[in-house]
Amino acid sequence: MADRTAHVTWSGSLMEGDGTITSVDSGALGPLDVTWAARAEGDSAGLTSPEELIAAAHAACFSMALSHDLAQAGTSPERLDVTATVTFVPGTGITKSALTVRGTVPGLNEAAFLEAAEAAKVGCPVSKALAAVPEITLEASLA
């Protein structure tokens, strides 16, 4: 079992106030500033949001699952470049997470890579936790 904790503080209202992800267990991130404007509007330079953190969690989880599956099959990856893009519609919620992966995997053909990537998409714990998201897509290719 693994527990992970994060702390956030917020001052003022949602629209005019601002928050900070003050710390996490590992110390790997924080303080990170967050605002509603950064979450809901295009101008988000330098300010993260729940959706961006979910994208990071999904990309990290998927890459770990895929590298594990490939190693188990005897074809360890040299490198995996994974991108996750999460779409949030205010008032509706998170509607999509789109994964893309480009892999360098010696000794593996494209079809086998696609199959492994699809299995990792279905099996990774974050994908399962996001099962209520209407659309989780995958584009996989070998570099």
Partner 1 sequence: MPRIVREADIDWEGTTARGSGVVRAVSTKSFELSATIAARVDVIEGKTSPEELLAAAHATCFVASLGSELARLGAPPEHMHVRCTITMDEVEGAGHRIVASDISASAVVPGADAETFATAARAADEGCTFSALIRASATVNIQAVLEEGRS
Nearest to partner 1 of 45, 111 (CB atom): 45
Minimum distance of partner 1 from residue 143's CB (angstroms): 12
Minimum distance of partner 1 from residue 57's CB (angstroms): 4
Sign of the alpha-carbon dihedral angle for 58, 59, 60, 62: positive
Nearest to partner 1 of 76, 138 (CB atom): 76
Place of tokens 């974050």: 126
With a CB cutoff of 8 Å and minimum separation 6, the contacts of 127 are 58, 61, 62, 121, 136
Minimum distance of partner 1 from residue 18's CB (angstroms): 10
Are 43 and 56 within 8 A, CB to CB? no
Minimum distance of partner 1 from residue 142's CB (angstroms): 15
Q: Is 76 left (phi over 0), alpha (psi -120 to 50) or beta?
A: beta
Nearest to partner 1 of 38, 140 (CB atom): 38
- Say how far apart CA 140 and CA 76 lie, in whole Å: 16
Nearest to partner 1 of 114, 133 (CB atom): 133
Nearest to partner 1 of 36, 114 (CB atom): 36
Other Cβ atoms less than 10 A from the Cβ of 77: the count is 20
